[in-house]
Amino acid sequence: MGTLATQLRLRRRRLPRGVALMMVIAVIAIAAVLGYVMLSTASLQNRAGSNQSKLVSADYLAESGLNIAMYYLQHPEQSPATNADGYWAGMNSNYTLPNGSPSTLIVSVTQALDTSTAPSTSVPWTYEVVSSASVGSSDDPSRRVTRTTGARIFVRSEYVMRPGAVLANNNITFVGPITANGDVYGSKNMALKNGPSGTPVVNGAGYSMTQTTGAGYLFPRDLYHGIVNSSAGTPIAPRNADVNLYKTYTVDDKPYSADILDALTSLLNGLLGLLTRQPSANNPGGVMFKEGTFTLSDNVTINGTLVVDGDLIVNGANITINPQPGFPALVVTGNLEMVHSGKSLTTNGVTYVGKQLKSSGTLIPLLNSTLTVNGGMIFGTPDGVPIAPGYNAKTILNYNAAKARAPELSSALRERKGVTIVRWGLP
């Protein structure tokens, strides 16, 4: 019992006041430290969450800058301004995002350079874009998040023919039995001259800078209209220096070569029956290339493209050229000469003549040689006149929008048709 009582008395003894106070202070200090840690952690988490939100916003805003650049490079006419080279060069603008955060977007657009040459040369239709976005107040740089990205962009372009049966550089006078079913475009003066070799007809409008009218001259069905060029003589059609000869070409980004007609080949004919030239696995465009004067004789069908870097003489009947989709039917850098009588050539696609349309030989009545173009006729003639005086072959030039397509015909007079990302991100 004594022992138990002693124990009870000992348990009822109180700690010294100083010790108890120290323990209370220690507990309060620990609680304060824990509270501070909790508040600090919450503050860091809040700031981290805010920075993450800013980071995501900056990423999206920077990519938006790339999309803006792609749109304005494809549609420069829609951009706020273009530089001396004709493209949108970028921007530096401040915004307030939907969540209320202030932001800045800086976009820089420059012509891509080929550094493998000395000095470096620009890469046609290719641009380097750098887009930098900052989110957060500029007054507090420590809380401002910046993201920068970039891209190398190729603007897809193609030659687009004006919607007409005939496009002609220089002065053009229609003589002889020529019928153009569609509009006619000329870069300078245009005339329809009635004469002994026949009556020209234009079933459409005539667009030119000036026109010749009066006695002996006719009007297009839909009359003449002015055409505006930035300077006199500006070409509205590709010229020989611009035209594609298709000795090499690409289909679905794969390179191919034309079939080269050797120097001994001066004519192509089907005297022993119909001769048909077809595309092949190595030449899917069915392109045939001939350098120098070339003669087409009877019964020839080309299911592809004929390119003559020189003069083409049509001295045969029943000749037809059917190009593959996206290719021209006929490209002649020199003269296209129709021989009389009873000869015939039909091209079912874009037909280009670099110099003159001519006729030769003796015309037998009712056996007029005939040239028919279904698609569009282009005269690149930089000097002289596209149709030779005295031309008297029966000629029918039909505009056909579906066949008037040859996107790679010319390196000039091209329109933007889309964009391709060559590289996404900074180099």
What tens digit of pLDDT does each residue of 126-150 get? 999 999 999 988 887 878 899 999 9
- Token code pair at residue 7: 């124990």
Statement: residue 305 has pLDDT above 80: yes
Closest by Cα among 185, 191, 230 to 208: 185
pLDDT for res 262: 80
Mean pLDDT of the chain, nearest integer: 88
CA distance 151 to 247: 32
pLDDT for res 269: 73
Do 270 and 299 meet the contact criterion of CB atoms below 8 Å apart?
yes
Closest by Cα among 85, 156, 388, 351 to 238: 351
Statement: residue 112 has pLDDT above 60: yes
Q: What number is the average pLDDT over the span 167-182?
A: 95
Percent above pLDDT 70 for the chain: 87
Statement: residue 117 has pLDDT above 60: yes
The answer to which of 75-79, 124-128, 145-149, 195-199 has the lowest mean pLDDT is: 195-199
CA distance 376 to 341: 24
Q: What number is the average pLDDT over the span 256-285?
A: 83
Between 205 and 51, residue with greater pLDDT? 205
pLDDT for res 272: 61
- pLDDT class for 115, splitting at 50, 70, 90? confident
Question: Strand, coil or helix: what is 38?
Answer: helix
Q: What number is the average pLDDT over the span 390-401?
A: 96
CA distance 16 to 127: 83
Q: What number is the average pLDDT over the span 2-15?
A: 54
pLDDT for res 39: 61
The answer to which of 259-263, 276-280, 408-412 has the lowest mean pLDDT is: 259-263
Q: What number is the average pLDDT over the span 399-410?
A: 96
pLDDT for res 229: 65
Burial 261-283 (b: 16+ CB within 10 A, else e): beeeeeebebeeeebebebeeeb
- Token code pair at residue 51: 């920075």
Question: Strand, coil or helix: what is 34?
Answer: helix
Statement: residue 254 has pLDDT above 70: yes
Residue 37, CB-side half-sphere exposure with 13 Å CA sphere: 6
CA distance 310 to 332: 6
Q: What number is the average pLDDT over the span 363-385?
A: 93
The CA-atom distances, in angstroms, between 32 and each of 36, 44, 45, 46 are: 6, 18, 20, 21
pLDDT for res 200: 96
Statement: residue 379 has pLDDT above 90: yes
- pLDDT class for 225, splitting at 50, 70, 90? very high
pLDDT for res 148: 96
Closest by Cα among 270, 60, 227, 22 to 147: 60
Give the tens place of pLDDT for each residue, 154-171.
999 999 899 999 999 999
- pLDDT class for 49, splitting at 50, 70, 90? low
Residue 146, CB-side half-sphere exposure with 13 Å CA sphere: 11
- pLDDT class for 23, splitting at 50, 70, 90? confident
Statement: residue 47 has pLDDT above 80: no
Give the tens place of pLDDT for each residue, 317-328.
999 999 999 999
Residue 129 CB coordination number (10 Å): 23
Residue 8 CB coordination number (10 Å): 9
Alpha helices (runs of H) in 88-137, residue ranges in sequence order: none
pLDDT for res 237: 93
CA distance 107 to 116: 26
Interstrand relation of 189-193 and 210-211 (parallel, antiparallel or unpaired): parallel
Q: What number is the average pLDDT over the span 177-188?
A: 95
- N residues, the chain: 427
Statement: residue 266 has pLDDT above 80: no
